[in-house]
Amino acid sequence: MISDIKIPEVKNVTLAVARIKYIGESDEWKVYLINNNDFPIENTLVASKGYGEKDGEPQRTSILRHFLDTILPNTATLIEPIDPSVFHLNNEYWVSYYIGTQIFDKRFVFVPDSIRDENISFIKELDMEGVLHS
CATH number at residue 65: 2.60.40
Signed CA dihedral, 50, 107, 36, 44: sign only: negative
Range of the domain at 87: 2-132
d(CA 83, CA 36): 26
Into how many domains does the chain fold?
Answer: 1
Confidence (pLDDT) at 3: 66
d(CA 84, CA 20): 12
Element (H, E) at 107: strand 102-110
Q: pLDDT tens per residue, the chain (134 residues)?
A: 566 667 788 999 999 999 998 878 888 999 999 999 999 999 999 999 999 998 889 999 999 999 999 999 999 999 999 999 999 999 999 999 999 999 999 999 999 999 999 999 999 999 999 999 97
Confidence (pLDDT) at 2: 60
pTM of the full structure:
0.92
Bridge-partner residues for 54, per DSSP?
57
